[in-house]
A and B are shown apart, each in its own frame.
Chain A
Amino acid sequence: MAHGIPIMLGYLSVSFGIGIMAVRAGITPFQATMISLTNLTSAGQAAGIGVIASAGTLFEMALVQFTINLRYALMSLSLSQKLDKKKFTLPKRLAASYGITDEIFAVCSAQKEALTPAYMCGMIFIATAGWVAGTILGAEAGSIMPKSVTDAMGIVLYGMFIAIFIPPVRKQKSVLFTITAAAALSVLFKYAVKGVSAGFAIIICAVIASAAAALLFPVDEEETDEKEAAE
């Protein structure tokens, strides 16, 4: 559980932004809390809230979540190799897989020993508590704070995204290429290509940019590890 505390503190602040964003999109604090409790992921939830706000289709919702959260499949795959096979029975695997996030993955994969259910579930429990509490605080604060404050807080989550995708740009041209291509395509979809909903636009931009980056800059095993550690 101790390893979960820094994650919890980080989640408190990020999910505060999610809570505010949800209320601004017309979602009630209770619904926002349910979204956080059942999803436990920032980018996926932010995009999902966008789909709800724009009254998108359920197919769009499913595809958006699939694309944005696909990275978790890779993390789950990687963690599945590190499990204490005796202690991790099927029900425990079913339970622990709920909490595989970027941060929990990073901490778990840094462990030298095999992962036990107690270790993973303790960390997931405390991280989830922070995530849900932050959402409630953000959503409630969003309902009572003056508009000038909630307007300004609308940028919090995006500020965090910038803090994730900018630092690697200094070291890796490939990431600079990826984010520039994705951002340029996204601007194109916003202003030039009409009629594509926001959720689909994100998917198309991300897939094209990543596919091109993977062709031009294939990664080595080391780079993948470096990124996992950074997250």
Chain B
Amino acid sequence: MSIAIYIAVMAGVTYLIRMLPFTFFHREIKSRYLRSFLYYIPYAVLAAMTIPAIFYSTGSFVTAAAGTAVALVMAWFDLPLIAVALAAAGTAFVTGIFF
């Protein structure tokens, strides 16, 4: 299938999600359950996207696992996003020299 069609669908759906409530809605979501669900969704999506895919992200399980470990520790100490991301890559690169 043409990649242009994929991109059009991606862009269309993403735009509508942002545009419709911003333009036409004027009420607030009252349901506590629904608000809770929407609160947790980003975390759940990111976790499901990251694990186990991260272990395949560098083409080598060993380098990816090393990068993941460093990222987890740095994220735990609340270091900036970009520092965590680049340290993970740096670790994977250095580990890759040895394995």
On whether the two chains bind one another, the answer is: yes
Chain B residues whose C-beta falls within 8 Å of the C-beta of A121 in the assembled complex: none
Residue from the set A67, A175, A179, A191 with the largest chain B CB neighbour count within 10 Å? A179
If A156-B86, A162-B68, A163-B85 touch, does A178 touch B6 (CB 8 Å cutoff)? no
Q: Across the interface, do B43 and A159 meet the contact criterion of CB distance under 8 Å? A: no
Contact code string A148-169 (vs B, CB < 8 Å = 1, else 0): 1101111111111111111111
The complex places the Cα of A78 from the Cα of B46 at a distance, in Å, of 22
Chain A residues whose C-beta falls within 8 Å of the C-beta of B43 in the assembled complex: 164-165, 168, 175, 178-179, 182, 210
The complex places the Cα of A152 from the Cα of B58 at a distance, in Å, of 5
Interface bracket on A: 35 or more
25 residue pairs bridging A and B, Cβ less than 8 Å apart: A14-B81, A35-B7, A52-B3, A58-B9, A65-B13, A68-B45, A69-B17, A71-B42, A73-B21, A76-B22, A93-B22, A98-B19, A151-B93, A155-B85, A156-B85, A159-B87, A160-B84, A161-B46, A163-B75, A174-B40, A178-B43, A182-B44, A186-B52, A187-B51, A206-B48
Taking A97-B23, A162-B71 as known contacts, 11 extra A-B pairs with beta carbons closer than 8 A to each other, sorted by chain A number, are A94-B23, A97-B22, A151-B93, A155-B68, A158-B50, A159-B86, A159-B88, A161-B47, A179-B43, A181-B44, A218-B33
Name A's B-contacting residues (CB within 8 A).
10, 13-14, 17, 27, 31, 34-35, 38-41, 43-48, 51-52, 55, 58, 61-62, 65-74, 76-81, 90, 93-94, 96-98, 100, 102, 148-149, 151-170, 174-175, 178-183, 185-187, 190-191, 198, 201-202, 205-207, 209-211, 213-215, 217-219, 223-224, 227, 231
The complex places the Cα of A179 from the Cα of B44 at a distance, in Å, of 5
The complex places the Cα of A163 from the Cα of B54 at a distance, in Å, of 13
Q: Across the interface, do B38 and A151 meet the contact criterion of CB distance under 8 Å? A: no
If A94-B19, A217-B36, A218-B32 touch, does A183 touch B26 (CB 8 Å cutoff)? no
Tell me how many residues of B have a C-beta within 8 Å of chain A.
Answer: 75
The complex places the Cα of A148 from the Cα of B92 at a distance, in Å, of 9
Q: How far is the CB of B39 from chain A (nearest CB, A)?
A: 5
Q: Across the interface, do A58 and B52 meet the contact criterion of CB distance under 8 Å? A: no
Q: Across the interface, do A157 and B5 meet the contact criterion of CB distance under 8 Å? A: no
Q: Across the interface, do A44 and B48 meet the contact criterion of CB distance under 8 Å? A: no
The complex places the Cα of A182 from the Cα of B67 at a distance, in Å, of 21
Q: Across the interface, do A160 and B85 meet the contact criterion of CB distance under 8 Å? A: yes
The complex places the Cα of A9 from the Cα of B54 at a distance, in Å, of 24
Q: Across the interface, do A98 and B40 meet the contact criterion of CB distance under 8 Å? A: no
The complex places the Cα of A164 from the Cα of B71 at a distance, in Å, of 11
Chain A residues whose C-beta falls within 8 Å of the C-beta of B71 in the assembled complex: 155, 158-159, 162-163
